[in-house]
């Protein structure tokens, strides 16, 4: 009977040992397969994310180029508008405005604004920076930029002090782009801001 128990125990131990080795081997194989699948999925996801990042970077680059192009177009349109404004008083078409052309233009243009005091009329000397007797486009553009900055500064001051003067209101309205409406304005800054609006 002891031999039977001994042989049975030894057989059970050897069977369990072989069976556990087989089970361990199967579990390791399953683990390796799952690990390989997870790594494959991880690398695929990383690759897809890198592709998406590259596509987004390309899209951002294209948008930046488009924004640059739009800015350049806007700047060119602004320059063209300024040049068209500059050419209005240039009667003889020589790309410079003489004192006579300037005075004639101011007289004709501002006759539409009878409430404007003569002291507020633009002066040729303000535009003729190099004092050569003519206003070039560059001088015109520089002076108009100064005029716009002054009008904006006056509007800010008026807004801060809450002064309800007619001049401040006219400038505020002109800078808001009310160029299509007829309003009484007080000086050339108002006219220019209204015209450019």
Longest dimension (CA), the chain: 138
With cut-offs at 50, 70 and 90, classify the pLDDT of residue 102. Answer: confident
Contact 166, 186 (CB under 8 A): yes
172 pLDDT more than 60: no
Handedness of CA 21, 27, 29, 32 (dihedral sign): negative
Q: Quote the strand ranges of 51-169, DSSP E.
A: 97-98, 134-135
Model confidence over 53-100: pLDDT tens digits?
999 999 999 999 999 999 999 999 988 888 888 888 888 888 888 988
């Amino acid at each position: 009977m002891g031999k039977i128990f001994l042989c049975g125990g030894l057989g059970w131990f050897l069977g369990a040992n072989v069976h556990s080795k087989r089970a361990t081997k199967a579990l390791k194989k399953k683990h390796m397969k799952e690990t390989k699948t997870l790594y494959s999925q991880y690398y695929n996801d990383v690759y897809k994310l890198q592709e998406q990042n590259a596509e987004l970077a390309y899209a951002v680059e294209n948008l930046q180029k488009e924004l640059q192009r739009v800015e350049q177009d806007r700047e060119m349109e602004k320059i063209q508008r300024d040049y068209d404004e500059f050419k209005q008083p240039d009667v003889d078409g020589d790309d410079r405005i003489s004192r006579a052309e300037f005075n004639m233009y101011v007289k004709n243009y501002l006759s539409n604004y009878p409430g404007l005091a003569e002291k507020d009329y633009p002066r040729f000397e303000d535009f003729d920076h190099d004092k050569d007797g003519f206003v070039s486009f560059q001088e015109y553009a520089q002076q108009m930029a100064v005029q716009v900055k002054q009008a904006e500064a006056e509007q800010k001051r008026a807004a801060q002090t809450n002064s309800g003067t007619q001049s401040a209101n006219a400038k505020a309205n002109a800078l808001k782009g009310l160029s299509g409406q007829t309003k009484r304005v007080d000086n050339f800054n108002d006219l220019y801001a209204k015209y450019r609006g």
